[in-house]
Amino acid sequence: MAVLHHLLIITLPLAALLWRVAEGAISVTVVSFPGPNTATPTLSGVLYLPSGYRTSTATFPAMVLMHGCSGIWSNRNVSARNKDNTPNLQNHIEKWGLKLAGQGIVALVVDSISNRKPAGVDMRDWQDQCGTADPSVDSYTVRVLDARAAYAYLIDTAAGLAPSIPSKVNSARVGLMGWSQGAQTVLTEAAESGRDSSTLRPDSDFLFRLPSITFYPGCGADLAFRTGSGSFWRPKFALRLNIGTMDDFYSDCQTRTTLAGSPSVFVGYTNATHSFDNVDQTWPTASCPSSPPPAGDTCAMKAADIDSLAFLQAALV
């Protein structure tokens, strides 16, 4: 037992180190881009570009990543940096940014919070929108516009994601993913109708045409799409919803996706809680074995990460 413990201590950091080296040519930069309106003329974010992005003659798919109620930064610290001086983001977000870029997918992490800080408010306190979120960062309205502004930036050939070269993002191959409040943004943007309308949105209104991935959104009354009034929630394209059985919104999400049917995919994880995938910043190598039945946050995280990436990649072949 002592030997095994010792081995684990040695092996885990080494594996993490090798993985970083293997994906070492990814570029990670803090970026600014035009915001959705005059109230927010500029948004910030973190851009993960695949290795070879500058030199490739091909176009790239992209994903826009929407954070939960405590923003994108590790420890709510907008100055947080890793040892290699790249921005240090919350575990689940950074893990996905690096992994997507490692798979040849551009990843843009949107920061909906920082640029909206009122004067005189402490930045670290402002990053915490977990009580009642400030209306200026509302998940169902404002942040939907943020996601769409991020899309515009990704495909803006004039702006360019890398210095001096036009954007290489394929405008028909951009997807949206999010966690918690950010997942609510994804559910709203992905819906075939508006929240208060039974009228279907025109096809041309859908910017995000790759599958959407959501982790533990709130699916209750705040999501609107009032069942019974003719407007109910159904995504236009494939959408995967990952949530733990111990999450307060488990039943609401299960009901929403059951009503919506295909193309929504509901995956409930036994005895996992909210934020189950924040446990670790290292991409999992395998899901938990099927026996005994997987349960709890770590097994949920491994399966949700691996299977959600496969869900996305199935649309990219």
Ligand X SMILES: *[C@@H]1O[C@H](CO)[C@@H](O)[C@H](O)[C@H]1NC(C)=O
Binding site for ligand X (CB under 6 A): 75, 77, 79-81, 270-271, 293, 295
Instruction: Work out how close the CB of 9 gets to ligand X at its nearest, in angstroms, rounded to a whole number.
Output: 24
Of 198 and 270, the one with the shorter C-beta distance to ligand X is 270
Instruction: Work out how close the CB of 87 gets to ligand X at its nearest, in angstroms, rounded to a whole number.
Output: 10
* CB-closest chain residue to ligand X: 295
Of 75 and 141, the one with the shorter C-beta distance to ligand X is 75
Record the tokens describing residue 101, joined without a space: 């870029």
Instruction: Work out how close the CB of 245 gets to ligand X at its nearest, in angstroms, rounded to a whole number.
Output: 8
Instruction: Work out how close the CB of 23 gets to ligand X at its nearest, in angstroms, rounded to a whole number.
Output: 21
Instruction: Work out how close the CB of 17 gets to ligand X at its nearest, in angstroms, rounded to a whole number.
Output: 19
Q: Do residues 110 and 208 lie in contact, with contact meaning Cβ atoms separated by under 8 Å? A: no
Record the tokens describing residue 130, joined without a space: 């977990």
- What whole-number distance in Å separates Cα of residue 19 and Cα of residue 57? 26
Of 84 and 203, the one with the shorter C-beta distance to ligand X is 84
**Alpha carbon 149 to chain centroid distance?**
15
Q: Do residues 315 and 211 lie in contact, with contact meaning Cβ atoms separated by under 8 Å? A: yes
Instruction: Work out how close the CB of 295 gets to ligand X at its nearest, in angstroms, rounded to a whole number.
Output: 3
Q: Give me the DSSP letters along 208-260.
A: --SPEEEES---SGGG---TTTT----BSS-EEEEEETTSTTHHHHHHHHHHH
Of the candidates 127, 3, 141, 31, the residue with the CA atom closest to the CA atom of residue 73: 127
The kind and range of the H/E element at 74 are none
Of 51 and 271, the one with the shorter C-beta distance to ligand X is 271
Beta bridge partners of 33: 43
Determine the 3-state secondary structure of 94 from DSSP: helix
Beta bridge partners of 165: 162
> How many other C-beta atoms lie within 10 A of the C-beta of residue 259?
13
Instruction: Work out how close the CB of 288 gets to ligand X at its nearest, in angstroms, rounded to a whole number.
Output: 11
Exposed e or buried b for every residue in 143-155, given b needs 16+ CB within 10 A? Answer: bbbbbbbbbebbb
